[in-house]
Structure 1
């Protein structure tokens, strides 16, 4: 096998799942989508990431806790050599942005405290037990694991980053050695790869994606169309304080990010949801991102939120816009 083709078995289980029932339109095109991804220009670091992934020792954990804030994998009596090899392998997959994770003796202190966001979102969700879930822009899969820990029937994440795929696989390999085959998969695809009007998932998450889209209404309609009738959308995005109709479009960068397009007021966002055909759109959380929730760490050594804000006023970005304010909206598909 070539380096790329060796990844194909990672997707066998999700392909089998997507060939059934309402999901069949995706199952029919998934092999071609994966081939296109695998034969696209290989990322320059992919060989190094695969080497790091394969260097992780084949240890069977005593416990894998999918409900812990730091997603704990543990084993008593781990040798010093194994502990060192685990940390070295995981450091070969840096930077780690979403987490945290605990791989045996190694605490992966990620840039984002994604557990804080989950704690704000989870109490408001329809029960996830047995539900088929799509996570759009899932990163390395931290929230996907928390969904599975809440009893989800099947979790499918999409994110085109090859590094996130490797990080996800690092955790999955150890989790499955303890818990057996798990109904959770990360597909290295984009929202555009999900077949139009699929109408299949019970719950769809889109957290931290909408403001990266040039056409936010189209994205909301795409999300709506992933859901079965009555399915729940969980939308988390950046907003501004303001009245109905107010929207911030940055001149260039927002908090040093180039790919930020539209930040609506909360009332404007709810209107967008209604115009996109979603029902009962309502706010369940509003939170300004703190310097403790997003920051540089030893596992993500690049600039982070403290560097993106006005050093004299943390309520403003470096460009002078309002600092990141995040809302969680729930809605249902018609």
Structure 2
């Protein structure tokens, strides 16, 4: 994937990142070379978008915006809709509003004034999806914002947004899992958002995050939680809010104890929010199966999921290594 390799070369020119360049590139190219019948369609859309004159990247809250792209909104929409579903966003491209399932700006506003400034920092975004937050981190002034996301479609979505911009040299997405990365203790801010509850071994995930952190750096952890005392956690049977692979939802006190067990310090709970259908919603940009949060809650009692568990509630914590 030529566009990826060109971007990778410039992004990994950072002195510290260069130490890990060859291993990350080798593993990334292997990930891109897996068999997937959608790749020709995604590649075609990407090539068509790449042929247009680039626009200017910025913010137009709640959107990441790209202005003055030398292409019609209809052409942009046609190609971006080859990359459905768009889960994270939203974006505005010229006058085209790409209304993703999640309004990511709501989460970002809960975080941005309660964490250490990202300006001039090297940042890692784990489970980055299509890189919406990775780009936000770069727009906040991060010197390098690296997102890792194994789901191939989301990497093509990031590449599509990236290829429409004149300059986005400070953010990058690579198609790897956290566990596939070498230990890179160079990041001054590490984000794990919406990832922990998908891990079979939560302590292993937290330990690996710690191994990616430079001295005196900050972890920003966002995950599903449930009400309860210390040592309480919900282990769903089957699905949770229609999601597969949800292994464990801790109470906030349990979550703090996990972080402490791994060796994190200065653990702070900075936000608890119930997820609403205003934040996670149906839009035409999530494809032929447009179900979203409202379909996964008990219609007679929206405080419960359709499986009878407590409805989604998310906590954000910060801590240092």
Q: What TM-score do the two structures reach when normalised by structure 1?
A: 0.91
Runs of 4+ in 1 over 6 A off after TM superposition: none
User: Could you tell me which residue of structure 1 aligns to residue 38 of structure 2?
Assistant: 45
Q: Are residue 221 (structure 1) and residue 185 (structure 2) matched?
A: no
- Residue 7 (structure 2) pairs with residue 10 (structure 1): yes
Cα distance change on mapping 1:181 and 1:210 into 2, 3 Å: closer
Alignment partner, residue 275 of structure 2: 289
Counterpart for residue 170 of structure 2 = 183
Unaligned segments of structure 1, at least 5 residues: none
Tell me by how many angstroms 1:84 deviates.
1.5
Q: Within 5 Å, give how 1:87-236 maps onto structure 2.
A: 87-175=77-165, 177=166, 180=167, 182-196=169-183, 198-236=184-222
Q: 1:15 to 1:83 in 2, by over 3 A?
A: same
Distance 1:272 1:67, change over 3 A: farther
Aligned residues: 318
Q: Deviations over 1:261-288 (max 9, x none)?
A: 0100000000000001111111000000
Task: Answer yes or no: is the 8 Å Cα contact 2:57–2:168 preserved in 1.
Answer: no
RMSD: 1.7
- Corresponding position of 2:294: 306
Deviation at 1:34, TM superposition (A): 2.2
- Which of 44, 57, 75 is residue 64 of structure 1 equivalent to? 57
Q: Which residue number in structure 1 is paired with residue 247 of structure 2? A: 261
| Contact 2:32–2:175 (Cα < 8 Å) also in 1 | no
Residues 317 and 326 of structure 1, relative CA distance in 2, 3 Å threshold? same
Is there any run of 5+ residues in structure 2 with no aligned partner, and where? none
Quick one: distance in 2 between partners of 1:112 and 1:181? 22
1:76-87 pair list within 5 angstroms: 82-87=72-77
Distance 1:285 1:241 in 2: 14
2:142 and 2:2 map into 1 onto residues whose CA distance is: 30
SS in 1 for 2:78: helix
Deviation at 1:68, TM superposition (A): 3.4
Distance 1:292 1:222 in 2: 33
Distance apart, 1:143 and its partner CA = 0.8
Shift of residue 7, structure 1, vs aligned partner: 4.2
The equivalent of 1:26 in structure 2 is 20
Assess if the C-alpha contact under 8 Å between 1:67 and 1:150 holds in 2.
Answer: no
Question: 1:7 & 1:72 partners in 2: Cα distance?
Answer: 22
Counterparts of 2:215 and 2:249 in 1: how far apart (Å)?
28
**Distance change (3 Å), C-alpha of 1:321 and 1:144:** same
Cα contact 1:67–1:149 (8 A) shared by 2: no
Alpha-carbon deviation of 1:161?
1.6
Q: Give the Å deviation of 1:192.
A: 0.9
Q: Deviations over 1:52-88 (max 9, x none)?
A: 1222251233x42146320111229x67xx2221111
